[in-house]
Amino acid sequence: MLAYFSVFAIFHTSVLAARIWNNTGVGTIIFEEAWTPPVLASTVGKQTPPVGQTSEQLAENLLDVHNQRLAGMDANGVDFMVLSCSSPCIQGISDPVVAATTAKQANDELAATIANNTLRFGGFAALAMHDPVEAAQELKRTVEELGFLGALVNDYQQTNDSSMIKFYDTAEFDPFWQVVTDLDVPVYFHPRSNIPLLGNLEFGHSSFLRGSSQEFAATLSTHVMGLSTNGVFDRFPTLKIIVGHMGERIPSDFSRIDDQLARQVVNGMPMQKKLSDYWRTNIFETTSGNFGTDLLKFHIGQIGLDRILYSVDYPFVTIEQGTEFINTLAETTGLGEEDIVALKRGAAIKLLKLDQ
């Protein structure tokens, strides 16, 4: 009898807590979509806008939620958008105390901003990654108290020591990954611009390559591959990581990566499987800002359609560009209707647990 009641209680609670969102049954779900919280508005520098826009327009689009952003979603059949703090967000704050305070404030601002329209908007937490235990506590707070769907980190955490940056593939971060897997929420790995020390050495000679054409993928792919080679997925087999821009090129290069890493086993590399294996068990990729249809077909062969999800990268990429990609997928890729629905919303509903 007691058992019956406790089962009933759990069932009842989860029914009450089920997320209500604007599920039209056909609209898209997108979740690498940037927003600048008011607490960080004064720190945002000039950024390169999409062709045909000014950097002022881009800055306005980053601050907006309920006006042109929502209108664009309506016009393009976007059912639901998950917002996250625009890069580098907290990863660009060197002081650990300021970073932790600002993260809390940015998360509270995001929750308050979307509170009157959670039918259309959800949130990913911004986290100070100086201290793994503090980061885990803030993630838990945002998921359990603010209803956030996971976190988005903007690559490595810069620190107050300009010769030291923090990557989350070291054992120091195990307490963080423990809480992430206990909460069973995904963490999105999003790129950032390098700290000057690195960026100037690497891109000073050809500054056009800073940002999204080369710098972002080059730096972030190293971090994501480090999670594998350092054994994070072996220690946390249920961990879910999301990588945008069609996987920051990694699944395009599996043959060489797997082949070359096999040579590192004798050097004590802790990774238990092939790097490509984790893209079928732990890592998901999105199409954000990368709508290459030949590449999509190739990646379906590499990792399977169930690991590939639609996203846009608004406002750095227009929602219209994404819509054009989605609406022509049948002709450009030969994918059937069921597969297209999985790509544009089905896999996201599962990964973000929108149906729970």
- Pick 68 or 328: Cβ nearer ligand NAG: 68
Q: Determine the Cα–Cα distance for residues 257 and 226; give it in Å rounded to an integer.
A: 12
Answer yes or no whether residue 120 interacts with ligand NAG by CB under 6 A.
Answer: yes
- As given in the structure block, the two tokens for residue 336 are 């059937």
Q: Identify the CA nearest to 169 among candidates 254, 270, 255.
A: 270
Q: Does 222 bind ligand NAG (CB under 6 A)?
A: no
> In this complex, which beta carbon is closest to ligand NAG, that of residue 81 or of residue 180?
81
Residue 152, phi then psi, degrees to nearest 5: -130, 120
- Does 74 help bind ligand NAG (rule: CB under 6 A)? yes
The whole-angstrom separation of Cα 337 and Cα 340 is 5
How far apart are CB 16 and ligand NAG at their closest, in Å? 21
Q: Shortest gap between Cβ of 275 and ligand NAG (angstroms)?
A: 33
Measured from the CB atom, is 136 or 257 closer to ligand NAG? 136
- Does 33 help bind ligand NAG (rule: CB under 6 A)? no
Which member of 19, 22, 60, 137 binds ligand NAG (CB under 6 A)?
22
Q: Smallest distance, Å, CB 29 to ligand NAG?
A: 10
For ligand NAG, give the closer residue by CB, 21 or 203: 21
CB 53 within 8 A of CB 314: no
Segment contacting ligand NAG by CB under 6 A, of 76-84, 170-178, 265-273, 344-352: 76-84
- From candidates 19, 47, 60, 77, binder to ligand NAG by CB under 6 A: 77
Tell which one of 6, 68, 160, 207 touches ligand NAG (CB under 6 A). Answer: 160
The nearest distance, CB 281 to ligand NAG, in angstroms, is 32
Which one among 48, 117, 170, 328 touches ligand NAG, defined by CB under 6 A? 117
- What's the min distance (Å) between Cβ of 168 and ligand NAG? 17
Instruction: Give residue number: closest CB to ligand NAG.
Output: 27
- State which of positions 280-319 bind ligand NAG (CB under 6 A): none
Instruction: Check if the beta carbon of residue 159 is closer than 8 Å to that of residue 165.
Output: yes
| Cα 350 from Cα 356, distance rounded (Å) | 9
Residue 279 and residue 176: Cα distance in Å, rounded? 21
Q: Amino acid letter at 149?
A: L
Should residue 111 be labelled a site residue for ligand NAG when binding is judged by CB under 6 A? Answer: no
Q: How many residues bind ligand NAG (CB under 6 A)?
A: 15
Candidate list 46, 66, 273, 297; residue touching ligand NAG; CB under 6 A: 66
Q: Is residue 172 involved in binding ligand NAG (CB under 6 A)?
A: no
Identified catalytic residue from 182, 313, 339, 355? 313
Is 96 a binder of ligand NAG (CB under 6 A)? yes
Q: Is 313 an active-site residue?
A: yes
Stretch that binds ligand NAG, among 22-30, 182-190, 224-232, 326-334 (CB under 6 A): 22-30
Residue 321 token pair: 């560009």
Active-site positions? 313
Contact residues: ligand NAG, CB under 6 A: 22, 24, 27, 66, 74, 77-79, 96, 116-117, 119-120, 160-161
